[in-house]
Amino acid sequence: MTLPPKPVPRRRRVPLWRHLRAFRRDILSAQPAHLYAAKMAEFRTPFFRSFLLNEPELVAEVLKARPGDFPKSDRVTEGLRPLLGDAVFVTNGAAWARQRRIIDPAFETARLAATLPAMRAAAEAAVARLAPGEVEIEAWASHATADVIFRTLFSVPIEHRLAAAVYDAFRAYQRSQPILNLGAFLPLPRWVPRLHRRRTLRAAGEIRAALVDLVAARRDAIAGGTAPDDLATRIMTAVDPETGQGFGAEEMVDQVAIFFLAGHETSAAALAWALYLLATHPGAQEEVAAEGRAFLADPGARLSVLPRTRDVFRETLRLYPPVPMMVRQAARAERFRGRRVPRGSQVVISPWHLHRNPRLWRDPDGFDPSRWAGEGAPREAYLPFSAGPRVCPGAGFAMAEGALFLAHVTAAWRLLPATRAAPVPVAHLTVRSQDGIFLELSPRDRGADVT
């Protein structure tokens, strides 16, 4: 069986300027092939030293350390600051800890269950928008998962005026945002301009302006006692248990921006790849479709009745982790595998490489959902949502959303790959395809009535 598509890695040493140019286009194909099996690798530039860790024990040492030991590096978040401000994704230290104390309770399992009706409504609307024939499934997934965010966060569908404004501006932001900003690579003082593209700044400004209106409207509803019990209300009325203070208006816009970026962009990427993998693996598709039909036939069914579907989504996140690399910074000199890591070095953890490491995974480039049903998956080498104190608070939300959408889509539609070249994975904000993911859809028996 043909392996799922994988970018061709760089196979020889190249000058730094060529590496930077390739890195700016796509961070996956810019990396050399030997990194997949390496335990650790070092990359030196005139500006900093970088160490990629590809061994579970080393990765755990970094991710599960105290947050101050390996803070998140500004080199990755630099290009996102025009949109995110000081959101929880980019902060460190006491500011980050305070933000997590306020945010985390909204994503507890019991509260997550309350979002499922909104997720189901979004899935039903998304399936209804599909039509027989060739479909570019990435664009559809982007629209569908944006709808989930608006319904669960603000209790409005994507057709709402402000929701549509945010979505349109975010699409422009995605197209304008390079993976590498000059300020992310050079050790520049904070006062030096970061040379963000004008269209990037314009798109970020449009998104934040629309979010300001959404947040203001919700604050008015909370004050008037008419606010729905959704994620936005829970977070805006939550307070830090240590200080008794909640988020201010500007802080809330920052947090909503990262919820949209993390909850929409990453979920859209994973969902599109999952549907492609099902289209190219008909046996797995039929198993998921059977679970989906049973799930939809029982209004009271829980997601626990979708074990195979959840395994398909887990395997998709292994092969195509939406966030392919995470970068931390050594707060002090360290020693990894007997090698000195100077203070200030960049410490790179790459789920993309760890998930495909042939020393750790059987058939690392193959699609095999069954590995999750037994002991075939080395879970310590699986990090689609990071791990440790900075693990993604929305991990449970994302898993529920993925399984729910796969169940709805496959219950109604039969998927085949379109008669085009296989999609090529590239990494910009997340792992997307270079030229889109095209599928051929046909309705299943009674599929038109299944939503």
Model pLDDT, residue 44: 81
User: Is residue 72 within 8 Å of residue 346, measured between CB atoms?
Assistant: no
pLDDT in tens, the chain (451 residues): 679 999 887 766 666 656 666 666 677 877 888 899 999 999 887 777 899 999 999 999 999 998 789 998 876 666 677 788 889 988 999 999 999 999 999 988 778 889 999 999 999 999 999 999 999 999 999 999 999 999 999 999 988 877 777 777 776 666 555 444 444 444 544 544 444 557 677 778 888 888 899 899 999 999 999 999 999 999 999 999 999 999 999 999 999 988 887 788 899 999 999 999 999 999 999 999 999 999 999 988 899 999 999 999 999 999 999 999 998 999 999 999 999 999 999 999 999 999 999 999 999 999 999 999 987 789 999 999 999 999 999 999 999 999 999 999 999 999 999 999 999 998 877 888 989 999 999 999 754 444 4
User: Is residue 401 within 8 Å of residue 148, measured between CB atoms?
Assistant: yes
Q: Which residue has the tokens 């934040």?
A: 208
User: Is residue 176 within 8 Å of residue 200, measured between CB atoms?
Assistant: yes
CA distance 355 to 283: 23
Spatial CA neighbour of 252 closest among 211, 287, 286: 211
CB 69: neighbour CB atoms within 10 A?
15
CB 339: neighbour CB atoms within 10 A?
10
Model pLDDT, residue 29: 79
Supply the pTM of this predicted model.
0.91
Model pLDDT, residue 308: 98
Domains of the chain (ranges; CATH) run: 16-449 (1.10.630.10)
DSSP code of 436? -
Spatial CA neighbour of 445 closest among 312, 303, 301, 290: 290
Query: Which tokens belong to 97?
Result: 């800890």
Which residues on neighbouring strands pair with residue 427, listed in sequence order? 431
Q: Which amino acid is at 68?
A: G
Decide: helix, strand or coil at residue 337: coil
Q: How far, in Å, are 52, 142, 398, 437 from residue 138 at the CA level?
A: 30, 6, 17, 6
Using DSSP bridges, classify how beta strands 425-427 and 40-44 pair: parallel, antiparallel or unpaired. Answer: unpaired
Model pLDDT, residue 15: 65
CA distance 297 to 269: 28
User: Is residue 369 within 8 Å of residue 268, measured between CB atoms?
Assistant: no
CA distance 231 to 42: 42
DSSP code of 122? H
CA distance 360 to 367: 15
CA distance 246 to 237: 7
